[in-house]
Amino acid sequence: MRKFANQKWWLLTMLMTIPVIAIADGVPNVFKSGEVIASTPMNDNFKNLADRVTALEAAVGPQPNPWVKAGDNTSKAVWDVLVAKYPPDKYEWGNNHNSIAGEVHKVTFSSWNQGIRITTEEYLEGDGDSSDPTAGFWMGGSAWFYDTNGTFDDVCTAAGSFKHQYWQRSATGITFRAGNGCGGGDSWYVRLR
């Protein structure tokens, strides 16, 4: 074991160098020891290497980090089990409320003195149902509340469920609009951070 310990840095250097040598194979300009190097051939070498790295990155493509359905938003008890299985420090969370074709809205968990608040990122809401369509749309999102100090979610909390509300960005901050009552929120999704 001691013999290997003495050689580990040499082996590590070799393992790190082999991919560089493989990528560098076939560069347009090979220089000899003591030769003065002009900038144009050196730049050609760097461009060649950059093109090869770009081609390798394109061949591999972006590494997928897909959303995976964790469970349905049926109760606080189900949510507790899912949070234990998919801890927020290791997983991003999302919900597919008001989504099209499987899109997932990222959510944020928070608390304030008491209870739980879960909020989606901002998205366009509304049906454009007024005579002036721009008045029928707003930027906002969905939120779920459980056991806050306020009384507005008490019925849902007593039923073991989150209270759903739509929120709207306004000139004075946030305005809450109607929601889907207790539960209201399709499914929870997770993905590795």
pLDDT over 70 at 8, yes or no: no
In this prediction, residues 17-24 reach a mean pLDDT of: 54
38 & 72 share domain: no
178 & 83 share domain: yes
138 sits in which H/E element: strand 138-146
Determine the structural domain holding residue 162 and report its residue range. 68-192
pLDDT over 80 at 15, yes or no: no
140 & 170 share domain: yes
pLDDT over 90 at 157, yes or no: yes
178 & 95 share domain: yes
* 42 against 76, higher pLDDT: 76
Are the C-beta atoms of residues 100 and 185 closer than 8 Å to each other?
A: no
Instruction: To the nearest 10°, report the CA torsion of 169, 173, 178, 180.
Output: 70
pLDDT over 70 at 186, yes or no: yes
Q: How far apart are CA 183 and CA 139, in angstroms?
A: 22
Last residue of a domain, one of 60, 82, 99: 60
* CB neighbourhood size of 160 (10 A): 15
| pLDDT score, position 57 | 73
Are the C-beta atoms of residues 30 and 45 closer than 8 Å to each other?
A: no
| pLDDT score, position 43 | 81
Q: Among positive and negative, which fits the CA dihedral 121, 123, 157, 91?
A: negative
- Mean pLDDT over the full length of the chain: 82
Q: How far apart are CA 26 and CA 187, in angstroms?
A: 52
Last residue of a domain, one of 40, 60, 80: 60
